[in-house]
Structure 1
Amino acid sequence: MNGYLQKMRGQGQSPPRVSLSEVCWSWLGSFLGMAAVALLHYKLLDQHGLMLLLGSFGASAVLIYGAVRSPLAQPRNLLGGHILSAVIDVTAFQWLGMYPWLAAAVAVSVSIALMHLTRTLHPPGGATALIAVIGGQSVHKLGYLYVVMPVALGACIMLVIALVVNNIPKTRKYPEFWV
């Protein structure tokens, strides 16, 4: 028991501060990526009862604009993690929607397992997997369209912005890998 509790103390140090330049590039990328998705959402789709803006995209922005070298931030993970999780989420809700607590637990846990198995682990995918269960009637009505829009389309828009912005400074390179 003592060894188990000792592991919770941690032994490493906090990561070093990033440069002001890195902060500015992260800010610019996240601003442009989220602005593009939000603008399309509010100006084009929301008028027709469709959506493009997801809370999980905020977490993706942290990774693809702020932690560009992380394996979890790479295009394979961004797209695969969101899309796979969205498919699982919609399926879980359709099969288990009468038990929302169970649908939520199944959607997130199965998504994590499949992201591991497919090497597409992207933590915001867990949130994407939860949204179709807790998202309300407007999300439920989308069914599998949820996978295409907002999930795949929004992630693709953010990826294009990440490819452009993250490769402007000489100190950044994105992606580290595609597949």
Structure 2
Amino acid sequence: MVNNKELLISAIGVFIAVIATGFFSNVILQSANSPLIIASAGASAILIFGAPHAATSRPLNLIVGHGVSAIVGVSCFYLITNALLATSIAIPLAFVAMHFLKCMHPPGGATAVTAIIGGEAIHQLGYVFVIMPIFFNSLILLVVAIAVGSFRDKNPFEDYL
């Protein structure tokens, strides 16, 4: 459980992280029809700021979990023409991949889905989607979380630095 001071610090950190990832995504996707922020980044922010000691919030899980899920999602988009079927296959494949790579990060499921149903701006990125915006969004979230952690009573990321 976090105290009120840590809650406030974490909430400010989530705000900063989401603004930064949203700005970055918007600059990359540059389309009126594209999402302002990759939805899975919001879920990741809640995990890494709200439950920073959880195994699913570890830096490796955040970065690799999103990355492998993005690869799976883009691959399913290219290989399966039906969006519902592609999504239905991508989520369990991302789950299995994260399990075997020991990088379980639940928002990765949303990353895989975004690669399939995210719209033309995302589809045009192809596998670049894995790097921009997914890797960079994850990295921004992590950097802000580490910075915010230094203001908490106990930095949840100190074991990884």
Task: Within 5 Å, give how 1:1-179 maps onto structure 2.
Answer: 18-42=2-26, 44-47=27-30, 53-96=37-80, 98-177=81-160
Deviations 1:70-103 (A, max 9, x none): 110010000010000000100011000x111111
Deviations 1:23-54 (A, max 9, x none): 11220110111111123344x43547887720
Secondary structure of the structure 2 residue equivalent to 1:119? coil
Aligned residues of 1:93 and 1:100 also touching (Cα < 8 A): yes
1: CA distance, partners of 2:116 / 2:22: 22
| CA deviation after TM superposition for structure 1 residue 134, in Å | 1.0
Distance 1:175 1:122, change over 3 A: farther
Distance 1:177 1:71, change over 3 A: farther
| TM-score normalised to structure 2 length | 0.90
| CA deviation after TM superposition for structure 1 residue 151, in Å | 0.3
Secondary structure of the structure 1 residue equivalent to 2:153? coil
Distance 1:175 1:121, change over 3 A: farther
Q: Which moved more, 1:109-118 or 1:31-40?
A: 31-40
Distance 1:81 1:52, change over 3 A: farther
Flag structure 2 segments of 5+ consecutive residues without an equivalent: none
| CA deviation after TM superposition for structure 1 residue 169, in Å | 2.4
1: CA distance, partners of 2:29 / 2:109: 24
| TM-score normalised to structure 1 length | 0.81
| CA deviation after TM superposition for structure 1 residue 58, in Å | 0.3
| CA deviation after TM superposition for structure 1 residue 22, in Å | 2.3
2: CA distance, partners of 1:156 / 1:170: 23
| Corresponding residue pairs, total | 160
1: CA distance, partners of 2:56 / 2:144: 17
Q: Which has the higher contact order (CA 8 A, sep 6+)?
A: 2
1: CA distance, partners of 2:117 / 2:79: 14
Question: Alignment identity in percent?
Answer: 34
